[in-house]
Structure 1
Amino acid sequence: MVSKIKDFLLLNIGALLDALGFYFFLAPNHIAAGGISGLALVINQFLPALPLGGIILFLSITLLLLGFITIGPVYGFKTVYCSILIPVIIWILEKIYPLSSPLLDDLLIQLFFGVLISSIGLAILFNQNASSGGTDIVARIIYQFYHLDIGKGLLLVDFLITLAATYVFGLQKGLYALLGVILYGFIIDYVVEGITISKQVLIITPRSEEVKNFITRELGRGATVYKASGAFTGEEKEVIMTILKRQEFVKLRSFIKKTDPNAFITVQNIHEVLGEGFKPL
């Protein structure tokens, strides 16, 4: 129950961050950095009387229905929920905090912070096996009929949206939008990896019993022990392998430093761990 509440809160935080980054930084500057929100900015230029959040909501629902008709119910509750929640938040922001002009004069700073905040929100959604829907659905439809990779299809859709933005808002805004699309990809990947990253640790020490006890009892983690022998001495040794969260690794490193300062340790970043004690399969 606690896990479900946590997941639900993370969904709402991710959706809120995506909406805030777009509404306060990208939308006022007409930076249509791909996605359904970028398409809505272009449409809003021709239909200024319609609220931006309302346009995004209409597009989201339309694409969800189109995806359901053409490729079936491939999107779960979380994605449907976020696809509706994000434009609703934007619509509410338009009502309670209308913006008549950009917050700052520096366009590049606003592009960076808008993409950064929105990307963190999207990364949280992706880590919860959700997404904001939108152009993801278009990419899946393209794959269904033309067998173009979903990643390439998504890039194609975003590129067409930036072309439309260039036509409507001018070359400068179009280039900023293209830069935003590129930044989205890098930042989302970086944040998702940062959320899921773990440490694989190999330890060789004559005080292996103490280290194993610390890992299993103090950290509550498992470990695998290999028998090995030194190339020079031929002496048989134990090699302890364990996978830890970053904060757990810091505790283990401090313990080993006090217990055996001469221990041999190697550390590798693991981008995803599935199974007991980590992310479920």
Structure 2
Amino acid sequence: MKLNLKTKDILFILLGAAIYAFGLINFNLKNQLAEGGVTGLALIFYNLFSIDPAWSNIVLNIPLFFAGWKFFRRNEFIYTLIGTFSLSFFLFIFQHVITFNFLLNRDLLLAALFAGVFIGGGLGIIFRYGGTTGGSDIVARITHKKFGWAMSKTMLVTDASVIVLSIVYLDYRQMMYTLVGVFVGSRMIDVIQKGAYAGKAVMIFSKKSDEIARSIIASLDRSVTLIDGKGGYTRREMNVLYCVVSMNEVFRLKNLIQEIDPDAFVTVNDVHEVFGEGFTYDKAKTE
């Protein structure tokens, strides 16, 4: 099977692994906060037996690689190897070579928040560019293929089990702050996965759809799609307008619609990622 590896993807996976490792070492390990998955097990081994997490992360993932390689596409498997080994490399770098002193024992809330931001941010970048860091992701793929279990639920159970197991070296206070960090991390992953260019999708049902469409194009410089529609009650044919606008244009669009047709029915929905003309590149550059 032909590989289609991209330099950009690899570089961003390396960047994500560096950010992840920085957060894990400086905010989790140094402030005795736990983590889920294989990296969480690595922290347990470090606190109980002083085993370097850079090495335990690799050792724990190797059997998972052998068990799960056939469940990955070849590109995904290579990216997973890159993500896992680069994570261990940066764990070693930030623990032994480039060290920082972020001891926040007296403010564990701050430590948990920064842990979530860095770990979630790093993982979000890795996932966005097709990589993983091994661990619970491999377990989730195996159980999904073998037993049909939902991957998200398997990952949740696996990570939660590791966090609960971390009670062997944590007290209840540290455990509670760990959960705060995990929650923040999950939100960070969502933000990065959904993309930087968010917007609002608007559907407009109006008798004056043509006039509204012309006004949107002229006033907001946004394209509008006309969709053939039919009223379920009136059985009257009409054009439904669909357009996507940036967050700061929603108020202007509402006012525009109200001026033309106060009786228009409008729905506004979140759009988590937008790319294309008018959002991620300029129209003038394509002409």
Structure 1 length normalisation: TM-score? 0.72
**Structure 2 CA distance for partners of 1:171 and 1:253, relative to 1, 3 Å:** closer
- Please give the secondary structure, in 2, of the residue aligned with 1:268: strand
CA distance in 2, matches of 1:64, 1:241: 46
CA distance in 2, matches of 1:92, 1:35: 21
CA distance in 1, matches of 2:270, 2:254: 19
Deviations 1:69-125 (A, max 9, x none): xx5434443333212222211211123233577255311210111112211222233
CA distance in 2, matches of 1:132, 1:161: 16
Aligned to 2:72: 73
Shift of residue 57 of structure 1?
A: 2.9
Aligned to 1:269: 270
The answer for unaligned runs of 5 or more in structure 2 is 1-5, 281-287
- Please give the secondary structure, in 2, of the residue aligned with 1:169: coil
Aligned to 1:134: 135
Amino acid aligned to 2:156: L
- Aligned: 1:209 with 2:210: no
2:31 to 29, 32, 35: 29
Amino acid aligned to 1:38: G
Alignment map for 1:128-277 (pairs within 5 Å): 128-193=129-194, 195=196, 197-203=198-204, 206=211, 208-212=213-217, 223-226=225-228, 239-244=240-245, 246=246, 250=248, 262-263=259-260, 266-271=267-272
**Structure 2 CA distance for partners of 1:254 and 1:79, relative to 1, 3 Å:** farther
8 Å CA contact 2:71, 2:141 repeated in 1: no
Of 169-178 and 104-113, deviating more is 169-178
Shift of residue 64 of structure 1?
A: 2.0
8 Å CA contact 1:212, 1:223 repeated in 2: no
* Fraction of identical pairs, as percent: 24
- Please give the secondary structure, in 2, of the residue aligned with 1:105: coil
CA distance in 2, matches of 1:224, 1:63: 51
Amino acid aligned to 1:73: F
Aligned to 2:123: 122
**Structure 2 CA distance for partners of 1:188 and 1:207, relative to 1, 3 Å:** closer
- How many residues align? The count is 264
Amino acid aligned to 1:192: Q
Deviations 1:15-68 (A, max 9, x none): 2322222121111122122122111011112332x4322222333344223322
Alignment map for 1:55-74 (pairs within 5 Å): 55-68=56-69, 71-74=70-73
- Please give the secondary structure, in 1, of the residue aligned with 2:269: strand
Shift of residue 212 of structure 1?
A: 3.5
Deviations 1:137-171 (A, max 9, x none): 12333444454332222222212212221013333
8 Å CA contact 2:17, 2:122 repeated in 1: yes
Q: CA RMSD in A?
A: 4.0
**Structure 2 CA distance for partners of 1:104 and 1:253, relative to 1, 3 Å:** same
8 Å CA contact 2:16, 2:125 repeated in 1: yes
Shift of residue 186 of structure 1?
A: 4.2
**Structure 2 CA distance for partners of 1:214 and 1:103, relative to 1, 3 Å:** same
CA distance in 1, matches of 2:101, 2:269: 49
- Aligned: 1:52 with 2:53: yes
CA distance in 2, matches of 1:238, 1:169: 61
- Please give the secondary structure, in 2, of the residue aligned with 1:199: strand
Aligned to 1:85: 86
Shift of residue 269 of structure 1?
A: 0.9
CA distance in 2, matches of 1:237, 1:148: 44
8 Å CA contact 2:104, 2:110 repeated in 1: no
